[in-house]
Chains A and B, each alone.
Chain A
Amino acid sequence: MPGATRLRAEPVTLVAAGAVTPLGADLDAFWSGLVTGSDGISAIERFPVADLRVRRAGEIKKLRPLPSVRQPACRATHLLLAAAEDLLARAAITAEPARIAVVVGTALGGVEQLERALAPEGRPRHAAAAFYDTPTHALARRVDARGPVVTVSTACAAGATALGAAADLLRADLADVVVAGGYDALCRFVLRGFDALRSLTRDRVRPFDRRRNGLLLGEAAALVLMTRDGWSEGPTLGRLLGHASASDAAHIAAPDQNGRGLELAVRSAIDEAGLIPDDVDFVSAHGTGTPLNDRIEADVLKRTLGPRVQTIPVNSIKAGLGHTMGAGATLEAIMCLLAAREGVVPHTLGLEEPDPACDLDHVMGSPRAVHPRISLSTSLGFGGCNAALVLEGIEA
C-alpha cells in the first residue's frame, strides 16, 4: 500500500534449519554442495519420462528411511518428514504442543497420490492423501503440533509466504515455536505440465546468462524452526525482519512484463523490516533461468535498490538444484543466513556470459568471500504470486 504509514514488524528468530535436496540428504550436504558448485541435476529415474522433451531434473536419488515403523507412501510427505528429521537433529522443540505451530508452503501438495487415486485400483487412502495439505498434517503429527497448522500454496513463492505467515503467528503470540518451510516432490504431473509449457531447457540452467532458455525442475524440502526474538537460548541462524507479497494481476502463467508485483513486494518487505534499500548487502534472486523471469528481476532490483545495485552481490541457486518450487524460497532464505554465518556467498552455476540486460553484480565462477548481514530474497510463482523476504544473518 504505497504511501501508507506502516508499522515496523517485530523481527523473529530462525533458530535452526533442516533440508533434503538433490545435493544431499541434509543441510550440511546442501550447503557444501552450494559452495563447491555441485550439480544436482540428473536423468529422472523414479517415473516414466520417455515421452517428454526434457528428462532431467534435480531428483533426489537416495531418500533415507524415516525412523518410524511405517514409511509414507506419498513421496511429498516423505520429503517433508525427512527435512523435519534433519531439523530435529539440530534443534529440540521445547514448547508445549498447544504452542507449536506448523506453516508449510507447497505448489503441488501430494498430487502424485491423486494419480494413484484416479487409477482403477486406487484406494481410499490415496484419495485422502491427494489433498494438498496432507503432508503438512503429517509434519504436524511428527512434531506434535497442536497449535495452528497452515498450508500455503502461492505456487513457487510458497516457501517465502510460509515464513511470512509463520512470523505473523509468532508476532500475534499464537505460538512460541513454528516449524515452517516448504517442499515439493517431482512427479510426472508437474514434469508433463512444464514440458508442455516449453519452460524446460535441454541445455543447463543458466540464470541471468545471455544464453539462458529455460528452467529445470527439482524436488526438495526445507524447514526452519522459528521463535520470537529472545525466546530461544543458544546459537541461532538469524532473523526474519520483513516479508511481503503482492499480486501481479497480469497473467496466469507468466510474470508481469514490468515486474510491478515483485517491485511492490520488495519495497514492502524492506519497509516492514524498518530498513532502506541501501541496507541490503546481498540478493538471493528467484533466478529461474527463463528469459522473461531473469530480465524482470534484474529490472526490479535496479529500480528498487538504485545505483548501488551494481555493487550488491546477487546469486541464484536454481541451476544446481533445479527449481524446487514450494521448497525453493525456504532453501534460498536458509542459504542467505548460512552465507552470513560462513562468510561466503555461493556462486550462480551456469552463469558464464551475463546478459547485458541483467547487469547486476553476479556472483559467478566461484563463491565470493563476503558476510552479507542483510539479505533480500525474491520469489515469483504461477497466478502472479510475488513474495520477498528480508533476512538478517549472524556472523560466526
Chain B
Amino acid sequence: MVGTAVERVAVLTGWGDGLGALPENAARAAAGRPVIPIPRPDLGGDRFRRATRECLLGIAAVDALLRDGGMSREAIRGTSTALIYATGGAYGASNAAFIAGSSSRVAVGDTRETRHGSSWAGALNFPYTAPSAMAGEVAIEFGLTGQYGILIGGAVAAIDALWQATRLLAGGRCARALVLAVETFEECEPLYARGRWLVRRPLVEAAACALLVPGARSARYDVPREPAALETLARVRAGETFACAPLIALALARNGGTMEPISVTGEWRGRRAGLHWE
C-alpha cells in the first residue's frame, strides 16, 4: 500500500477566486447577509446551455486547479483519474426548480395526454436534478472515465471523499484522484431560513477541488469529538461552506506552509469525521 499527498487545491467562493479573496472574518464581512452567492460561471459552448449552476461551478473548480498547477486537461483525462464528488445540498436548486416547474401542470383528474411544452421542459431538466449530474458533467468535460464516487452529507462527506481517494490510490485503483465539492444556497435560501437550526451563517457558496496523488504520508480516518484547528479556521475565514470546508481547510494549510502532518475535520448534522496525514 502506498501513501498519498495532496498536490494542490483550488478554491472558489462567494468572496472571490482563491484563498486571497477570503476575508479575515466571514461573519463580519457578510454584514448580516444570509447567503454570499457565486455568479453563474460564464463557460462557453452550446453543451452547457442546460447545465445547472452547480455543474458549471464544478467544472470551473477543476479548471482552476489545472490552471493554478500549470496542468493540461490531457494530464487528467482517462481511466487513471478517479473523481469523487461531495456535497451537502447543491442538488437542492435543481430539485426545487423541477418541482416549481411541475406545479403548473394539468390539474389532478385531468387525463389529457401531456405532449406539450412543459413536459419537454421536464425532460430537459429532470436529469440535472440528480446529484450524479454534477459529477457527470465534470467527467464529460474533462474526459474522466475512471473510478468515481458521489457522497452526500456536508463536510463529513468531504472527509469521507478524501478518505476514499486515499484508499483508491493506496490500492492502485487510480493514479490520481480529484476530490470535488460544490455548494450552492441562493435558490434555496428560504428553505435554509426555515431550517436555520441546522446551519450556521453566513452560507457561502463555494466550489473546491483537491488533487491527490501517491505520496509518502499515510492517511488515518477517525470520528473525533472536537474540531481540528483547521476546521475552525476555515469556518471563520470562509463562513459555512458545507462540503467545501475541509477542502478550504486543506488549501489554508498548504497556503500556510504546514502541509504535513495535517489534520482536517468536518461536522455535519451532529457527526464529525477527521482525516489525518501522518
Contact = CB atoms under 8 A, between A and B. Distances in A.
Task: Classify the interface of chain B: helix, strand, loop or mixed.
Answer: mixed
A98 B223 contact: yes
A292 interface: no
A9 B171 contact: yes
Contacts of B232: none
B114 interface: yes
A114 B94 CA distance: 11
B130 A53 contact: no
Interface stretch (A83-91, A336-344, A380-388): A380-388
B103 to A, nearest CB: 8
Contact of B271 (A48, A149, A168): A149
A43 interface: no
A250 B129 contact: no
Contacts of B273: 148
Interface in A339-362: none
B51 to A, nearest CB: 9
Given A152-B150, A264-B145, A384-B140, A50 B135 contact: no
Contacts of A168: 164, 167
A188 B106 CA distance: 13
Contact of B83 (A4, A123, A247, A381): A247
Contacts of A264: 79, 145-146
Nearest to A154: B150
Contacts of A194: 126
B148 A246 contact: yes
A306 interface: no
B132 A155 contact: yes
B173 A1 contact: yes
B115 to A, nearest CB: 8
Interface in B112-165: 112-114, 119-123, 126-137, 139-140, 142-153, 156-157, 160, 164
B171 A6 contact: yes
Nearest to A115: B99
Contacts of A51: 105-108, 110-112, 114
A122 to B, nearest CB: 7
Interface stretch (A128-136, A231-239, A283-291): A128-136
Interface string B81-113: 001000011011001101110100111111111
A125 B63 CA distance: 38
Interface string B56-100: 000000000000000000000001100100001101100110111
Given A130-B191, A131-B88, A192 B122 contact: yes
Which one of B105, B127, B152, B273 has the highest number of Cβ atoms from chain A below 10 Å of its Cβ? Answer: B152
Contact of B195 (A107, A109, A127, A261): A127
A394 interface: no
A127 B79 CA distance: 38
A154 B171 CA distance: 21
A250 B122 contact: no
Contacts of B129: 111, 189, 193
Interface string A171-200: 010100000000000001100111111100
A213 interface: no
Contacts of A128: 195, 198
A251 B137 CA distance: 8
A151 interface: yes
B143 A249 contact: yes
B147 A245 contact: yes
B81 to A, nearest CB: 9
Interface in A241-280: 244-253, 260-261, 264, 268, 272
A154 B149 contact: yes
Contacts of A95: none
Contact of B172 (A5, A196, A381): A5
Contacts of A324: none
A8 to B, nearest CB: 10
Nearest to A1: B80
Interface in A113-127: 114-115, 117-118, 122-124, 127
26 contacts: A1-B172, A4-B172, A48-B109, A50-B108, A52-B114, A127-B192, A147-B223, A148-B221, A149-B156, A153-B150, A165-B149, A188-B102, A192-B102, A192-B122, A193-B98, A195-B119, A196-B121, A245-B147, A246-B145, A246-B146, A246-B148, A252-B136, A253-B127, A383-B135, A383-B150, A384-B132
Interface of A: 1-2, 4-7, 9, 48, 50-53, 98, 107, 109, 111, 114-115, 117-118, 122-124, 127-128, 130-133, 136-137, 146-155, 161, 165, 168, 172, 174, 188-189, 192-198, 244-253, 260-261, 264, 268, 272, 381-385
- List the 6 closest pairs (A to B, CB-CB), nearest first: A383-B132, A383-B136, A196-B122, A193-B126, A253-B127, A51-B106
